[in-house]
Chain A
Amino acid sequence: MSASVRLSRRSFVSGLAVLGLGPRRSLAQGFAGLGNDASGFAAVVPGRRFSFPADHGPHPDYRIEWWYLTANLKDEGGNAYGVQWTLFRQAMQPGPQREGWASQQIWMGHAAITCADTHRYSETFARGGIGQAGVETDPFHAWIDSWEMRGLDGMSATDIAPLQVKASGVDFSYALKLDASKPLVLEGDGGYSRKSAEGQASYYYSQPFFTMVGGVTIDGKSVNVTGQAWMDREWSSQPLAADQTGWDWFSLHLGTGEKLMLFRLRQTQGKHYLSGNWIEPGGRATELPSSAIEMTPMATTEVADRKLPTSWRIVIPDRHLEIDIVPLNPRSWMGTSFPYWEGPISFTGSHKGVGYLEMTGY
């Protein structure tokens, strides 16, 4: 039997990719143009009023949506770890939601652990409508297979905390508790996050103030870890412009207690589209325009036959920020059906701190 007749993960996810379900901001790579066809799905328009906990749940009328958690952790010996937990939702077709197997929703989960010399990841898929995966708001519960993110007793809807999250792969697992004492932050313009000059946008809010504690296990060896985490919630029907080929996305925990979200959408025509959000320790957020940000790839790493810029220099003159970013593990390659780079980073310069970098479309 030839390889082409197999229903391999690869061919399957190519299917998913066509549907538009790829890791977070990676939809554009190689499948540009599909983001334009949003007819029938709900449109992202400015001025939406968010309401919690309802908005923690799925928005099935929109084509895609994700619950995205990344964490920078340390064990008792001071060794650094990164953890990723992601749930994606994708609607195959617009229109009224159908029940059971007829549901048009498809779910995908990614989980990963990274330390300096190891990177482990796993993925899983589920159909909507039957209970294998989903998100409920009261009590908050997002799950796919045995992976879950669950609201603990007394969870605050505006803080989306405390939570517990767990996932496992063949050779790793983690179970972690999250807490936050500050409310979540609306990204972009009050939660309306522009993705191109042509008007592509998504609804986007984050909780960047999580503290985290728990245990991670790699190859049967367990360690206790603590650190900070960042959750992104985003949904859209038409998140990318036709000429956008991929993303470079940063979430940074600055040593000063400030948080910084930055992204660069690489375009085949014209200048790349840059955007960001400066979040003060109190939670007040200011959108950074494209002109205020300088992002420069410094060194590349060859992973999976691709060259990826794993070291960066970022300058935001208005904020007196000038930092050099290096990865904890330059080989943080998510060799999932739909591959991308996602891993913990640290930076020095005008500010010190840690964060996460995602790069797609390379």
Chain B
Amino acid sequence: MKRALWVLAVLLSHWRKHPMQLATLAIGLISATALWSGVQALNEQARNSYDRAAAAFGGARVAMLVGRDSTFPQQLFVDLRRAGWPVSPVLEGRVRIHGKSLRLLGIEPVTFPAQAGSTPTIGRADLKSFLAPPGETLIAPETLTELTAAAGAILRTDDGSVLPPLKVQAQLAPGILIVDIGRAQSLLRQPDRLSRLLIGKARGPQAPLQAIAGGSLRYVAPDTETDLERLTDSFHLNLSAFGLLSFLVGLFIVNSAIGLAFEQRMPMLRTLRACGVSSRMLNAVLLTELSALALVAGLIGLICGYLIAAALLPNVAASLQGLYGAQIPGQLILKPEWWAAGFAMSIAGTFAAAAMSLLRVIRLPVLAMAQPQAWRQAQRRWLRWQGLCAIAMFAAAAILLAAGNSLISGFAVLAAILLGAALTLPVLLGFVLQVGARSTQRPLMMWFWADSRQQLPGLSLALMALLLALAVNVGVGTMVESFSRTFATWLDGRLAADVYVNARDDAQARDIEASLRKRPEVTAILPSGRAETEIGGWPVEVLGLADHATYREHWPLLESEANAWDKVKSGDAALVSEQLARKLQLKLGDRLTIGTPGGNWPMDVAAIYADYGNPKGQVAVNIDAFRRRFPNEPKTRFGLRVAPDKIASLIDDLRQRFHLDDHHLSDQSALKAESMRIFNRTFAVTAALNTFTLGVAGIALLTSLLTLSNSRLPHLAPLWALGLTRKQLAGIELLKTMAIAFITALLALPLGLLVAWCLIAVVNVRAFGWRLPFHVFPLHLVELLGVAMLAALLAMLAPLVRLLRMPPAALIKVFANER
């Protein structure tokens, strides 16, 4: 034991002599662990809140009965109970409070099925206070804070209804208000209506559903996965992919640091072995040393990961809410599993990065001459092997692209391309430098090229990291830019009407319409409708559109048959969203069957249109046909075409006269701004992770240069002795590194575009079901090139200053010391 400690002390002395190397190793591990665990924390947070949300309304966890229409009469509940069905009613809707839209759930605690999960604690005296006037509104602490209300406060909805006093329920999902079913009916103005019936444990025989409810209710089997989980899967996979990429880039750093450290310690290890330390003990001590390093760095990494997650959470939460309506609490909650997984990743990563070096030590013959040069020579052989690996990677990418269909395989294509490119980089750089060397006759220049090549293996890992980071940056930047450009025009097409009205009920809709007809500035009233259905087990929205130039001219069709709109007008054809078309593999002219309350509705696919960002499928049909097929859907929605200078006054008038809030009345520009805001926040997360990755790559370059700068001395000293000044030497060093970095960055640009294509044409399509047009943004590329050069320059700064300030004595010593 004592002996092992001495061996450990000897091994650790290396780090004392090379603190920079230790720092490099630590930085690599910390950044790898931090980014990975940060992303995991975000995902975990989101998933927890889906669970909470699902549990709160007995979402998919219990079987339920849902109506053909959005609501159904309460009498069906009573009839089913009387026929032996253990059902419990739920009414769901949205209310606006202080301008915030919140989900209101009415539940019935007396019949609420125990297995429906964690609902409000209504025990003991609570039941009475929940049911009996004034009742209670159960609310999550996060929502309470968001509304800047206090427990017990009595809130008013924006349309003037009064909610029962607030009561905080810690386990409730944020953004949800729970009240008694009767109160929900009056708050939502849905007297005697219900949204769904949760089915509890059977208690004896039940009459057949058909006999009681006719066709008006549909059985929905319980599901272990919630809708939110399904819908947001792709989003989280994207986050995970970024986390993993950062982790890998971090490991590049660790690998280079450990490789160098082991190489430099070879003589020491040989001496230890010669002194009688057994190979087994040496290995055990080395493993202990690495584990300790991994643990300490892992801990710091986890703390950094927590900080990163906390910083990104607001944006992640905002995008999840905007895209999927999922509410994520703003306070990070970390489970012990998260810490454990973080440490495990850190240790596993360390060993993966150290595997090669460790293997070499294990096989180390006692008497073998250990020379730093041996490492370089091994690298040369390694290079050939690397080239072969790269070719294999590219082949794998091609196969995956052709054969795979899943999102995972999409990411695998991306990973294979990136890895292949990274492995090719040293080969390519070597080739470029060779060409450079042939182009000159001047001795100094020849030395310049040759020395660059000599330096290449030591820098190659850092350069790979830089290449990957840059390429991903180009790729993601191009995708985001492409998206926001496409999205803007697409929004213009989709939101073609100037003002959107959603009346409270059909009667109000008729009143509003009548009053609008009298206004000359309203050039068109375009009724629309919306119904939910399912096609092939996938939630699909059916959209009813008026036959009008507004849509004919602007609707963002991707491909269409001739006279598509005329066919739609006939009621026998539909426009199908890109997502739905891809999911069901529909082509123009194919037949599609939509389930309606009155039976199946067969439709021809007349056109396919872009429906970016919608997690559900969508079908657009003619409004008159829609109303015939979905007679019970509210006829409350319409779009208006209005003379542009009269929009503001029209909205003010409508708002005052009919007491419509933002939920019921909005103008096009507000809707557009809202949509853009959501997407910008989504991509803000991506951009932030991207920046982190680039930062890590910069650090990798810096640390590589720092560790190399010591071993550079013997190469530079002879030049200095030949008469070059330190300033000149520094200039040459700078030029060389910048040149290599520049070539790497240049190579990263086409790779980045390839990555962008992969993201747009493969990953996005598989994740979301839609494909963006591909644009190249040269300015962005130039900008990134600049950033890369800046990173290289910054990384060069410290070694350069060191060289400039190096006392001549240190340079002379090179000749005195035998290495």
Contact = CB atoms under 8 A, between A and B. Distances in A.
Physical interaction between A and B: yes
Contacts of B192: 100
B110 A127 contact: yes
A122 B200 CA distance: 14
A149 to B, nearest CB: 14
B118 interface: yes
A136 interface: no
A308 to B, nearest CB: 25
A130 B76 CA distance: 11
Contacts of B133: 93, 102
A92 B204 contact: no
Interface string B85-121: 0100000000000000000000011111010011111
Contact of B78 (A4, A19, A104, A131): A131
A15 B118 contact: no
Contacts, number: 118
A319 interface: no
A122 B203 contact: yes
A1 B128 contact: no
A106 B55 contact: no
B124 A1 contact: no
Interface in B483-542: none
Contacts of A14: 123-124
Contact of B55 (A1, A11, A130): A1
A146 B122 contact: no
A16 interface: yes
B204 A12 contact: no
Given A1-B118, A101-B180, A168-B205, A11 B82 contact: no
Contacts of B204: 122, 146, 167-170, 173
Contact of B123 (A12, A124, A170): A12
Interface size, B (range) = 35 or more
A7 B203 contact: no
A92 B78 CA distance: 21
Contacts of A104: 132
A93 B129 CA distance: 11
Nearest to A122: B203
B124 A18 contact: yes
Contacts of B400: none
B82 A4 contact: no
B386 interface: no
B127 A16 contact: yes
B182 A7 contact: no
B124 A146 contact: no
B125 A124 contact: no
Contacts of A10: 123
Interface in A1-33: 1, 4-12, 14-16, 18-19
Contact of B114 (A9, A124, A127, A168): A9
A132 interface: yes
Given A12-B123, A92-B132, A169-B203, A146 B82 contact: yes
Contacts of A16: 127
A347 interface: no
A269 to B, nearest CB: 26
Interface string A166-179: 01111001000000
B74 interface: yes
A67 interface: no
B81 interface: yes
A125 interface: yes
A7 B112 contact: yes
B121 A5 contact: yes
Given A15-B122, A100-B182, A168-B205, A8 B114 contact: yes
A311 B124 CA distance: 34
Contacts of B183: 101
A126 B814 CA distance: 93
A19 B183 CA distance: 21
A143 interface: yes
A169 B84 CA distance: 10
A55 interface: no
A93 B132 contact: yes
Chain B CB within 10 Å — which of A102, A122, A125, A126 has the most?
A102
Interface of A: 1, 4-12, 14-16, 18-19, 92-93, 100-102, 104, 106, 122, 124-127, 130-132, 143, 145-146, 167-170, 173
Given A15-B122, A92-B128, 10 more contacts: A5-B171, A7-B114, A7-B119, A7-B123, A8-B114, A11-B121, A18-B128, A106-B110, A145-B203, A170-B204
18 contacts: A1-B118, A5-B118, A5-B171, A6-B121, A7-B118, A7-B123, A8-B123, A11-B121, A12-B112, A15-B127, A106-B110, A122-B204, A126-B111, A130-B74, A131-B75, A132-B111, A146-B82, A167-B204
Interface of B: 55, 74-75, 77-78, 81-84, 86, 108-112, 114, 117-128, 131-133, 171, 180-183, 185, 192, 201-205
Top 6 nearest A-B pairs (CB, nearest first) are A101-B182, A11-B123, A15-B127, A168-B204, A146-B84, A1-B118
